[in-house]
């Protein structure tokens, strides 16, 4: 048998009445044996009491989102998932397995990304047992197995992507949805043999390692400054081009090439300057 089999267990209330009746019968037998001085009644009372004692360990309770895995002398006999008060063979081993969703808040790991940069990363995994047979008998400790395989999957995921990069590249920082989806798929492949279903997996912490964090922050700031200045220059050039075209269209001012160049220089200086006061070129190439 290599997979889970859900079985129905008899109601425990019927057997509870039976066991109570046996206990009462045993007590009555002992009382009658004492009154009548009859040894046979005492023997029958002892036999009934022994039967009641043997039947008593067969009772068990299955709570919501829990299951009981039944094994008899090392052989799997099925899993009871129906909630309620049940009874089974008293010699059955009734192992409790929780089917509720669990959170695994992974520890921060220091891993190198695809570019070799050391980063700190942690993940949160939401999982639950889906197959009780595989959870108990395919791995030694399924909860520890989930933790170990989750760390291994996070390390493998980190080494497959850059921490940061261009907008069209899938990165750990910029492509959260894609990275989380791949992490969930990889975890499901690893944890499937343990009967575990991965409900959700996402990165909960992501940062450069402390030894390179300052240098990487400076690089990000420099990239942001370059990108911002590029946008400013592109906008300024467009505005200057529009201004020259409007002046030529209206004919309000006639400019030769030298004066156009001076005007372009002045406009670009004003539009592209930030905190420093713009210096406007007031000179001319023409002799006074």
Name the pLDDT band for 262 (thresholds 50, 70, 90): confident
Give the tokens for residue 142: 């399924």
Q: What is the pLDDT of the chain when averaged over all its residues?
A: 84
d(CA 226, CA 238): 18
d(CA 260, CA 269): 14
Whether residue 80 is found in the same domain as residue 19 = yes
- Residue-number span of the structural domain to which 188 is assigned: 102-208
- pTM above the 0.85 mark? no
Average pLDDT over residues 182-207: 93
CB 205 within 8 A of CB 124: no
Whether residue 108 is found in the same domain as residue 203 = yes
d(CA 125, CA 136): 20
CB 269 within 8 A of CB 233: no
Whether residue 130 is found in the same domain as residue 193 = yes
* 158 domain-assigned: yes
Return the higher-pLDDT residue of 180 and 257.
Answer: 180
Strands 93-98, 118-129: pairing is: unpaired
> Which pLDDT score is estimated for 84?
93
Q: What is the pLDDT of residues 15-28, one digit of tens each?
A: 999 999 999 988 88
Q: What is the pLDDT of residues 40-98, one digit of tens each?
A: 778 888 888 999 999 999 999 999 999 999 999 989 999 999 999 999 999 999 999 99
Whether 283 shows a pLDDT value over 60: the answer reads no
Question: In what helix (H) or strand (E) does residue 69 lie, and over which residues does it extend?
Answer: strand 66-72
> Which pLDDT score is estimated for 174?
84
Query: What is the 3-state composition of the chain as percent helix, strand, coil, each rounded to the nearest 5?
Result: 50, 20, 30
Domain boundary among the residues 187, 208, 229 is at 208
> Which pLDDT score is estimated for 168?
76
Whether 222 shows a pLDDT value over 70: the answer reads no
Whether residue 114 is found in the same domain as residue 36 = no
Number of domains observed in the structure of the chain: 3
Give the tokens for residue 115: 């570019």
CB 8 within 8 A of CB 80: yes
CB 149 within 8 A of CB 139: no
Return the higher-pLDDT residue of 263 and 201.
Answer: 201
Whether residue 119 is found in the same domain as residue 152 = yes
* 4 domain-assigned: no
Name the pLDDT band for 166 (thresholds 50, 70, 90): confident
Return the higher-pLDDT residue of 59 and 176.
Answer: 59
> Which pLDDT score is estimated for 242?
80
* 80 domain-assigned: yes
* Cβ atoms within 10 Å of 220's Cβ, excluding its own: 12
For residue 168, the SS3 value is: coil
d(CA 211, CA 204): 21
Whether residue 217 is found in the same domain as residue 202 = no
Whether residue 107 is found in the same domain as residue 201 = yes
Q: What is the pLDDT of residues 142-159, one digit of tens each?
A: 999 999 999 999 999 999
> Which pLDDT score is estimated for 214?
59
Q: What letters, b where the CB count within 10 A reaches 16 and e where it falls short, cover 55-72? A: beebbbebeeebbbbbee
> Which pLDDT score is estimated for 196?
95
d(CA 68, CA 79): 6
As a whole-number percent, the residues of the chain with pLDDT over 90 amount to 49
Whether residue 151 is found in the same domain as residue 86 = no
CA torsion sign for 124, 125, 126, 129 is negative
Closest CA to 81 of 100, 96, 68, 95: 68
List beta partners, residue 69. Answer: 79, 95
Give the tokens for residue 28: 């009555």
Closest CA to 83 of 11, 5, 17: 11
> Which pLDDT score is estimated for 40?
77
Whether residue 228 is found in the same domain as residue 157 = no
> Which pLDDT score is estimated for 2?
62
Whether 239 shows a pLDDT value over 90: the answer reads no
Whether residue 120 is found in the same domain as residue 202 = yes
């Amino acid at each position: 048998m290599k997979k889970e089999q859900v079985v129905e267990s008899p109601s425990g209330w019927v057997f509870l009445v039976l066991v109570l009746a046996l206990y009462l019968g045993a007590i009555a037998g002992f009382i009658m044996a004492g009154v009548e001085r009859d040894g046979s009644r005492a023997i029958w009372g002892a036999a009934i009491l022994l039967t009641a004692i043997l039947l008593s360990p067969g009772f068990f309770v299955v709570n919501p989102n829990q299951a009981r895995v039944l094994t008899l002398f090392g052989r799997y006999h099925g899993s009871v998932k129906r909630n309620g008060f049940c009874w089974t063979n008293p010699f059955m081993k009734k192992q409790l397995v929780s089917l509720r969703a669990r959170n695994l808040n992974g520890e921060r790991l220091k891993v190198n990304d695809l570019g070799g940069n050391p980063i700190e990363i942690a993940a949160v995994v939401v999982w639950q047992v889906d197959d009780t047979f595989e959870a108990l008998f395919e791995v030694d400790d399924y909860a520890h197995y989930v933790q170990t395989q989750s760390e291994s999957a996070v390390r493998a995921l980190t080494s497959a992507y850059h921490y940061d990069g261009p907008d069209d590249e899938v990165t750990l920082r910029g492509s959260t949805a894609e990275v989380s989806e791949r992490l969930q798929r990889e975890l499901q492949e690893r944890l499937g043999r343990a009967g575990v279903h991965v409900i959700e997996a996402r990165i909960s912490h992501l940062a450069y390692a402390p030894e390179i964090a300052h240098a990487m922050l400076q690089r990000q700031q420099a990239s942001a400054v370059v990108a911002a200045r590029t946008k400013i220059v592109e906008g300024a050039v467009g505005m200057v081009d529009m201004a020259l075209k409007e002046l030529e269209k209206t004919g309000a001012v006639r400019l030769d090439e030298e004066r156009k160049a001076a005007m372009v220089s002045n406009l670009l200086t004003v539009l592209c300057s930030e905190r420093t006061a713009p210096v406007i070129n007031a000179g001319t190439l023409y002799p006074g």
